[in-house]
Each structure stands twice: as C-alpha cells, then as structure tokens.
Amino acid sequence: MTAAIELKGLRKSFGPTEIIRGVDLTIGEGERHAIIGPNGAGKSTLFHLISGRYSVSGGTVSLHGENISNLPPYEIYRKGLSRSFQVTNIFPNMSVFENVRCGLMWVRDYKYSFWHLVDRQKELNARAMEVIEEIGLTSRRNIPAGVLTYAEQRALEIGIAAAGGADVIMLDEPTAGMSHSETDQAIELIRKITVGKTLVMVEHDMGVVFDLADRISVLVYGEIIASDTPENIRNSKAVQEAYLGAEAEE
Amino acid sequence: MSEITKSAVSELSRPLRKTLMPWIGFVILLLALPNIFSSNVGLYTMNLMGIFIIFALSYNMLLGQGGMLSFGHAVYFGLGGFMSVHFMNYIEDGLFVFPMYLVPIFGGIIGLVFAIIIGSFSTRRAGTVFAMISLGVGELMAASSLIFVAFFGGEEGVSGDRTTGPELAGIDFGKDIHIYYLIAAWVFVTVALMYLFSRTPAGRMANAVRDNAERAEFIGYSQRKVRFVSFCASGFFAGIAGGLFALNFEIVTEENLNALTSGVVLLMAYIGGVGFFIGPIVGAVVFTLLQSILSNYTDIWQLYVGILFVLTVMYVPQGLTGIIMMHTAAWRMKRLGILILPYLRIGIPALAMLAGIAAFLETVHHMRTAVEGETLMSLMGIEYDSHGIVTWIVILVLTFVGGYLTRTQLPQLREAWETANKPPASTKGAAS
C-alpha cells in the first residue's frame, strides 16, 4: 500500500531562519492524522509546504507516491489534495452557493469553459446543493459569504475544501475560535465529509484531536518528535515534556 | 437529497419566459428609441452611446468582474477601430468583397490578438503590477501610433467610407438611422454575449479570482489563466466597439487609443457602478448625455464630469446603479412612496446648492477667459454682470443657504429611509 502523503527530509527556511528542519512523515490511505504542537512550531508552514502555497527548501513531498514538491497549488489540487485555511479564506462577495459551486467546477471538468452556462448544469448545481446541505447552510445559500457568521464561514471553508471530492483533505485548525456547541457540530461535519478519505488536520483543541484522530504527530520547533496513536501520545513522556507539559504550565 | 434542496436546485433554472423578458424589453427599447429621439443630434448621441456601452461593458469584464484595474483599455478599442477602417478601405478598393456591417468583427479579432499577446504577461498578477503594465502598454501604443504612419495615419488618422461593399437589402448605411440600427444590433448581440460570458465557468471564476485569487488556486484554478481568459474576451469586445466607432464616424485617429480614451472608459464604468452587470451601461448612457448635452451649455463640462467621478468614488463607490439598487428592498415592500416627500425636501435645497456651485464655477471661468472689460455673461438664459456685487451675493446665498438647508434635512431623510427599509415584523426574515 502506498502512503497518501509521504514527507522525506522536508525543510523550509525563510532567509537564515529554518522553520521546518527535516520532517519525515508517512500518512497512510484513509488515515485521520492530526498534527499538534506549540505555537510557532511550524504546523501551518508544514501545511503550506504540502499544499503548494510555499516552495520547498529541501526534501520532498509525495502524494500517492508521486513527487509534488514545488508544484503550484492548483496542480496539487488536481492530483487530489484539497485544503482549508486557518484564517477564513472564502470568496466574500459571492453567494454561499457560488462559493461551493466554484469548488466543484474543476473536478467536474468545466475548466476555463466559456461555452457552458453554469445555471444550466443540473448535476453540478445539485451536487453543490448537497454539499451546502451537508454543511448546514441551506437556508443561507443565497447571501454573500462575507456576511455569514464566523462559525458559518468556517463551515463554508470546510465545504469548499471538501466539495470537489479530493481523497486527501487537509484542515488547518477547523474549530479555531468556535464555542463548545459549534465545535461539536464541526467535528460531526468533519467526520461526515471525510468518510473513506485521508484527513490531515492541525488542531489546538485536544478534545477534537483525541476524538477524531487515528494517529497524532507532534511537531516541535520544526521537527516531529513523535508520531503514534492517541493513546501512546497521551502517555509519552517526551511529548508531555515538550508540549502537553508546557501547555499545563500556561 | 432533501425536499428543500431539490426546490433550491430547480429555482436556478427559471422559466425561459422570465429569463427572456428583460432581453425582449431591451430589443423593444432599442427599436423604439429612434422614434422618440429622431433628430440628428439624438441619433448621433445614441450611436455614440451604443459604442460606449459595448466599450464600457468590455472594460468591466476586467475591473468589475475580474478585479483588474486597467489604464490602457483604449488600446484594444483603438486597434479595433484602425483595423476596421483599413478593412473598410480594402472593401472600397475592391481588394475583396465583404459586407460592411460585419467589419467590426475584424476589430474584434485584432483586439483579441493583441489581448492574447499582452495578456500573456500582464495577467500574471492583478493589482498594481497589472495596472502599471496596462499604463505602459497604453503609452507605448499611443507613441507608436505617431511612428507607424502607414497603419495609424499619423496625426490626421485614417478615414474610410462605409457606404461601399455589398448592401444589406438595399441599405448602404448612408443615413444615420441605418447606422443606428446597425449599432443597435451589435449592441444587443455583444451585450447578450458578455452577459452570458459572466454566467460561464470562466466568468464565475473571474469573480472568484477577483474576490480571493489565492483560494482560487486551491480549488484547481490558475489565477493567471482565469484572468487571461477574461482579458482576451474583454479585448475582443473592445475591438468590436472600436470597429463600430470606425463605421459610425468613418475616421479613426490616435486619440481613440490614447490615455484619454482609457480614462473615459474607466470613468464610465465607475460612475455607472462596476459591481453590477448593467452598471457600465448606465455609466455609458450618463457620460454620453453629459458629453453631448452639457457641452452645448458650458465649456467646462469636463470639470463637472470630473467632479461627478470624484464624488462617486468618495461617497457612492457602488455607482449610480448602486443607488438605484439600494431602493429595491423598499420597492419590494411597496414602501417607496414613503421616500418621495423626504427626497423632495432635501432635493430642493440641494439643487439650490448645486446651482450656486455651478454658478460660481461658471462665473469664475468667465472672468478668467472673457475679453478684457467684457463683464456681461449669460447662464441658462439669465444675463448678469460677472463682476457685480449682487451676482456674488446670490451665488454665496445659493451655495451656503442651500448647503445649510440640505444639512438640516438629512435627519428626516435618514429616519424615512429606516422606516422604508424596516423588515416587516410578521413575515419570515426573507427581506433581511
């Protein structure tokens, strides 16, 4: 079985500062993998490297065994990796429906077509409505995404990422800034949309992490210090010292 | 799929009759207009309007739809015009046989070709980089137009004759009314095509890239290619507008592709409202009216257009169409009537203030430009002494009393506005 994502000696520096310092990580097909670590450990940077937002300084990123290092984001997306963002990143002046539909067009092979009329594409629109129903925004579908509440925007963010049916989905802090009930809903949503898919997520909320993840990697100062099942991570002394301990002191 | 979802999907494919209604209305309007405004000036103005409508809409494919601020859109308009006028001359010389009414298509093709060449590097980035490249290309073209005299005709431009070539049902487009219907037909076709473009995947993604270029890359689209497609389409339609300009005026000069024309199209699109598809149409109509009517009354009409532009940018960035659209909520709730009286109460002093400001500008202009000793001037049929003390008292009173009264009327307008737009208490929150 090939791994969904494989990182080998991955490095990233900004000028003289090295943020990611040689990360080796294998994430299997269908796995729900969480990346945790203290602030500034480089979790988001790691996400940006895998999804093509940043160029790689050293090492390789492979998706299903294929080297995708330094490909532009849209090429990586077309190979089946989709992601959401930590800071909400949507199309604010377009309706919720349009946001989701845009997330569907490439995979439905519309590409840069100027000879299809989008409103006449029945399957495309039906699928967009299904996704909107899944993320619970059916009654809000016609309003501009920019005026949604924060939690709704987060749901839309996940919806856009998942709409295209990519088999690897990366979520960057999907529950950041949410209340308890909103977090519970978000977990349900993530569970629902990632059935049968590979999920990689960065998350600060340990409850969410231990609830969702099959495996957890701990990133500290640009290096993975442990990668194991939630149970073993919880009991690992090194992790407690480097991360959970630091958290408790705060 | 739940019931609500099914109904939501079906609401997208509205009945054909409803979709076609505005377009049928558009055709009727285009056919009826020359019967209402049948004078030569009327036809001249409407012909120019039609050309500017296509030009401004093509510009808005960049600015409003694609988030690309161009300072050099006249390049495609002008090149389309020059190409078309050359083809008009080829037809006249009998080099080949081609109906004159289709000549603008050559304008479109040259616009498209140049958009492909220039767009291949200028669409890499939006924002400042794109704006600067468009400005540079615009200057480059304007400079070359005086160098390559064979194509651009130097300072006097290139002229042609639209009455040659195969005729359409015995019409040789010798009369203004003929050219009106020709332009109207082109306007209808191109407006429809540009509208349809905005409803295609390429058009939708242009909006997405405008809103958030980075996110578009993470759903499979190269922001550069999305911009490139819009840019090419925009160049094509601008070229057609230029071709119609050549047919209408039978002369194309360097002025048609220089920075002034690029500025005019930006002005039209912005005053009309770049956020709406029909915005540039409104802008082109208003601008042409100002240009042809205001210029009959005053030498400084461009100053007024400039003031209108600055005021639009500062106070109503959504443009004139935006002001109209603001009233749709009240109109749907049948509460527009509430606003009539408040508008009158603020409108009358506001008009007095505007009259005062205009009188000030005109009088100062007269003092600066009139012959030495000539102090008698006429404004809107009123003759007065531009140096007289009474004149200045009237101007100051109009401006400041009008301005003060306008201010005092603001609260009542705000109150009426809130009453008119208050969501109905009983019905569901659909109006919010």
Instruction: Tell me the per-residue pLDDT of B213-238, one tens digit each, with 9 for 90 and over.
Output: 999 999 999 999 999 999 999 999 99
Q: Which amino acid is at B17?
A: R
Q: Looking at residue B430, what is its pLDDT?
A: 42
Here the tokens at position B378 are 């006429």
Partners of B218 on chain A (C-beta within 8 Å) are 51, 53, 73-74, 77, 82-83, 89, 161
What is the spatial distance between Cα B301 and Cα B141, in angstroms, rounded to a whole number? 28
Cα–Cα distance list, B227 to A69, A75, A110, B232, B319 (Å): 25, 17, 16, 9, 24
Quick check: A83 contacting B, CB < 8 Å?
yes
Pairwise pLDDT comparison (B391 vs B270), residue with the higher score: B270
Q: Which amino acid is at B126?
A: A
Instruction: Compute the average pLDDT of residues B405-429.
Output: 80
Partners of A141 on chain B (C-beta within 8 Å) are 8
Q: Which amino acid is at B278?
A: I
Q: Looking at residue A248, what is its pLDDT?
A: 46
What is the spatial distance between Cα A79 and Cα A198, in angstroms, rounded to a whole number? 14
Q: Cα-flanking dihedrals φ and ψ of residue B401, to 5°?
A: -65, -45
Inter-chain CB proximity B219 and A94 less than 8 Å: no
Inter-chain CB proximity A133 and B2 less than 8 Å: yes
Partners of A127 on chain B (C-beta within 8 Å) are none
- Indicate which CATH number applies to the domain containing A63: 3.40.50.300
Cα torsion A76, A79, A85, A90 to 10°: value is: 100
- Average per-residue pLDDT for chain B: 89
Q: Comparing C-alpha atoms, which of A23, A19, A27, A20 is closest to residue A3?
A: A27
Q: Cα-flanking dihedrals φ and ψ of residue B251, to 5°?
A: -150, 140
CATH code assigned to B16-321: 1.10.3470
Comparing CB atoms, the residue among B196, B202, B212 nearest residue A89 is B212
Nearest CA in chain A to B11: A119
Contact indicator for A225, A35 with CB cutoff of 8 Å:
no
Here the tokens at position B27 are 């055709």
What is the spatial distance between Cα B6 and Cα B27, in angstroms, rounded to a whole number? 34
Pairwise pLDDT comparison (B362 vs A249), residue with the higher score: B362
Q: Comparing C-alpha atoms, which of B348, B333, B345 is closest to residue B409?
A: B345
A244 pLDDT band (50/70/90 cuts)?
A: low
Inter-chain CB proximity A112 and B226 less than 8 Å: yes
Instruction: Compute the average pLDDT of residues B301-330.
Output: 91
Q: Residue by residue, what is the 3-state secondary structure of B404-426?
A: HHHHHHHHHHHHHHHHHHCCCCC
Q: Count structural domains, chain A.
A: 1
Nearest CA in chain A to B200: A117
Does pLDDT of B63 surpass 90?
Answer: yes
Inter-chain CB proximity A126 and B12 less than 8 Å: no
Q: Which helix (H) or strand (E) holds B379?
A: strand B376-379
Instruction: Compute the average pLDDT of residues B299-304.
Output: 89
Complex ipTM: 0.92
A-B CB pairs within 8 A amount to 124
Q: Looking at residue B45, what is its pLDDT?
A: 93
Q: Domain residues for A191?
A: 5-249
Does pLDDT of B428 surpass 80?
Answer: no
- Average per-residue pLDDT for chain A: 91
Here the tokens at position A37 are 């670590």
Q: Which helix (H) or strand (E) holds A125?
A: helix A122-134
The size of chain A, in residues, is 250
Please name the residue that has the structure tokens 């590979």.
A198
Inter-chain CB proximity B215 and A106 less than 8 Å: no
A138 pLDDT band (50/70/90 cuts)?
A: very high
